[in-house]
Chains A and B, each alone.
Chain A
Amino acid sequence: MRNFLFTSPWRRQPWVFAWLCLLPALTLLGAFTYLPVINSIFSSFFSSTGSGSTLYTGFDNVHYLADDPVFIKALTNNAWYALFTVPTSVILALTMALWVNQKLKGRSFLRLGFFLPTLLPMVAAANVWLFFYEPNIGLLNRFLSVFGINGYNWLGDPDTSLGALMMLTIWKEAGFFMIFYLAALQSLPSDLIEAARLESPSRWYRFRKVVMPLLAPTTLFVLINALINAFKLVDHLFILTKGGPNNASTLLLYYIYETAFSYLDQPYAATQTLFLLAVLALVSALQFALSRNKVHYQ
């Protein structure tokens, strides 16, 4: 076998071997990523007539996108959602990682405690939080009633429903990102850390000038993941608010789901999907570009 793979006929034409190696991944990516994207572009130019047939409508769906108040609401909601959950969960993850990276008693329990939310499926976690936020029997309000604050309807008030979703997301995500930071912290070269300790007595200075730059690749990875998750993780909406009240907490992907599977309007859902894809591609490209001078891999 070994001889067959690595000897004569392949040797002469290495590109055949290379393509063969790439083939499985390319097949999967092609079938489940690029074909659907092309299909979405194609179907966004049509309109669903309900009777199963489709009608060519050109850019009508794109124009409707700009006029659709629910889509605009979902977009702004999602922007706030990302703006708040991404930095918060990343900073929290780093703080927790720094803390449980020290030598302290019960360290493994702390680590497990921080990581536990990640182990729960989002839908299960959302079901727990549904009762946590409940205005009359919920744990949160029972706790707040000690301070004389009563019966606040967290999920049923348009001013707080999106915030309530954000809290769940941060709680769920921070522990997950902590693991990456923890792994990175443990693999920091100890000679560098020792040298830094000799140079500067200030912990904060050492953290800023030595630890953070060494963690930069991890931070980039975590930031990109957090940002993508802010757009693609909507499982909790199905349980907690269904985007309500009156779309106050709706997010892009949830609205796409509703359009495609509740309104059965696949063409318009395809248009929205393309928009989401473009936004994500742009943001990721920006992140890579901006980080080029800040992130150094060893």
Chain B
Amino acid sequence: MLTLRKWLCGTVLSVSACSVNAATELTMYYPVAVGGPLTEVVDGMIEKFEGQHPDISVNAIYAGNYNDARIKALAALKGGEPVQTSVLFSIDMLELKDMGVIRPFDDFVKTPEDKAWLNSFYPALMENGQSEQKTWGVPFQRSTIVMYYNKDAFRAAGLDPEKPPTTWQALRKTAAKLVKKNSAAEVERWGLMIPSTGYPYWMFGALTKQNGERLMSADGTQVNFNSPGTVEALQFWLDLSNKDQVMPKGTIEWGTLRQNFLEQKTAMMWHSTGNLTAVLKNATFDVGVAQLPGNIEQGSPTGGGNFYLFRNGSEQEQQAAFELIKFMTSPEQSAQWSKTTGYVGVSSAAYDTESLIDYTKKVPQALVARDQLEHATAELATYQAGRVRKMLDDAIQSALIGQQPPKAALDSAQAQAERVLRKHRS
């Protein structure tokens, strides 16, 4: 619709007819990481914004996954194309800041209302967006990891479906009871699956937080990959398959895990909240959603995309982009977005809106991610984030497939990351 109107403005209609409602033109890129007709939802939100701000016209471009969106936005900036704002990976913040392509929101937040807006977000969602006392990214499509479980399987195993495990020890015991074997002693249903391809570092961020550790310093120049607590967390992950035998050995594929859960090949899985709507829709059994269990404390990293403001375009355009971001993260829009996707509402005010109150009455599982936010921590984000993430990913996988013991794997990842990060410390 948007592009059609733009095209009409540009080619068919007279200039005067359009110039009125296109005094300021914005371009934004956004990614869609989970399936579904989400581009329509974004277009709908943009249209509403344009209705409220007739002087601003927004060109919202769907740009693939997070990696693609970053590539396209950076290429546009390099090529001198206008792009005033984009939704990109929250963990790209340090690198974007380092490249000098983003502006802090503090440049625009002046009125008391703006300050209230900036303070309205859940603190856990701001961790990946702040650096040097400034805010560079505000939360939009954000998630955490939750535990999905099969309530029917719980009942069949004589477990209380309303009491999912809340500690590591309970998780081990519960998972062991949920393993179902056939007459030939082959496993028909596993107790638990934690995916270890795609984003192993993300799942590991949950396990380490639960063991009282943080994977990196707040400024992103130090990593903590091989402290005793971190090594213990990886050992625990490994033990689930090797010692307790409640999880298959080797790596577990991120992309097929949901299907495994839906086909009851595992009674519990750890996965993004972004899957909630799809899981609830396709499950043939009673689905429970719980916060992740803890050892020393509870915990999950946050994930997903933030809004950024680029150093691009006139002051007037940037101000318009700021207005757009305020609108997109307002309680009503956030509630709408959360309902259609499963992403977390970004502020407590979003959960006070009528539409989300009604929705969570029907689907109480949608509240788990929000309740878990108080235990949430930042997702692994450092300078040279892609490379450092990969070092940790490789270490985790090499331990899970038995190439190296956890300690040796994490020691090597720590040493490699040290070498890369050293030059970013001042």
Residues of A within 8 A of B (CB): 50-52, 130-131, 134-137, 145, 150-151, 153, 155-158, 239, 241-242, 244-248, 258, 261-265
A156 pairs with B256, CB closer than 8 A: no
Determine if B186 is an interface residue (Cβ-Cβ < 8 Å).
Answer: yes
Docked complex Cα distance between A153 and B259 (Å):
16
Q: Which residues of B contact A264 (CB under 8 A)?
A: 95, 384, 386
Docked complex Cα distance between A128 and B166 (Å):
36
A150 pairs with B186, CB closer than 8 A: yes
Determine if B260 is an interface residue (Cβ-Cβ < 8 Å).
Answer: yes
Which of B100, B383, B387, B401 has the largest number of chain A CB atoms within 10 A? B401
Task: Give chain B's interface residue range (CB within 8 Å of chain A).
Answer: 35 or more
Contacts A246-B397, A261-B67 hold; do A52 and B252 have CB atoms under 8 A apart? no
A137 pairs with B263, CB closer than 8 A: yes
A50 pairs with B384, CB closer than 8 A: yes
Contacts A52-B100, A131-B259, A247-B394 hold; do A158 and B403 have CB atoms under 8 A apart? yes
Determine if B4 is an interface residue (Cβ-Cβ < 8 Å).
Answer: no
Determine if B400 is an interface residue (Cβ-Cβ < 8 Å).
Answer: yes
Which listed residue, A51, A136, A155, touches B100 by the CB 8 Å rule?
A51
Determine if B198 is an interface residue (Cβ-Cβ < 8 Å).
Answer: yes
Docked complex Cα distance between A151 and B386 (Å):
32
Determine if B248 is an interface residue (Cβ-Cβ < 8 Å).
Answer: yes
Contacts A131-B256, A155-B253, A239-B255 hold; do A52 and B186 have CB atoms under 8 A apart? no
Q: Which residues of B contact A239 (CB under 8 A)?
A: 255
Docked complex Cα distance between A145 and B70 (Å):
44
Docked complex Cα distance between A245 and B394 (Å):
7
Determine if B390 is an interface residue (Cβ-Cβ < 8 Å).
Answer: yes
B250 pairs with A245, CB closer than 8 A: yes
Contacts A134-B253, A137-B256, A263-B387 hold; do A246 and B401 have CB atoms under 8 A apart? yes
Which B residues, 232 to 250, have Cβ-Cβ distances below 8 Å to chain A? Answer: 248-250
A153 pairs with B255, CB closer than 8 A: no
In this complex, what residue of B is CB-closest to A52? B99
A153 pairs with B197, CB closer than 8 A: no
Determine if B209 is an interface residue (Cβ-Cβ < 8 Å).
Answer: no
B98 pairs with A50, CB closer than 8 A: yes
A262 pairs with B67, CB closer than 8 A: yes
Which B residues, 133 to 148, have Cβ-Cβ distances below 8 Å to chain A? Answer: none
Docked complex Cα distance between A296 and B239 (Å):
63
Determine if B265 is an interface residue (Cβ-Cβ < 8 Å).
Answer: yes
B248 pairs with A242, CB closer than 8 A: no
In this complex, what residue of A is CB-closest to B396? A246
Q: Which residues of A contact B397 (CB under 8 A)?
A: 244-246
Which of A153, A248, A264, A265 has the largest number of chain B CB atoms within 10 A? A264
Determine if B167 is an interface residue (Cβ-Cβ < 8 Å).
Answer: no
Which listed residue, B71, B99, B186, B248, touches A153 by the CB 8 Å rule?
B248
Determine if B251 is an interface residue (Cβ-Cβ < 8 Å).
Answer: yes
Determine if B357 is an interface residue (Cβ-Cβ < 8 Å).
Answer: no
The 9 closest A-B pairs by CB, nearest first: A156-B250, A156-B251, A262-B386, A153-B250, A246-B398, A136-B265, A245-B397, A246-B397, A263-B387
Q: Which residues of B contact A135 (CB under 8 A)?
A: 248, 250
Which listed residue, B190, B256, B390, B403, touches A263 by the CB 8 Å rule?
B390
Q: Which residues of B contact A145 (CB under 8 A)?
A: 186
Which listed residue, B190, B252, B265, B393, touches A156 by the CB 8 Å rule?
B252
Q: List 24 A-B contacts (CB under 8 A).
A: A50-B384, A52-B99, A130-B255, A131-B259, A134-B256, A134-B260, A135-B248, A137-B256, A137-B259, A137-B265, A145-B186, A153-B248, A156-B250, A156-B251, A158-B403, A241-B197, A244-B251, A244-B393, A245-B196, A245-B197, A245-B398, A245-B400, A246-B397, A263-B386
Determine if B187 is an interface residue (Cβ-Cβ < 8 Å).
Answer: yes
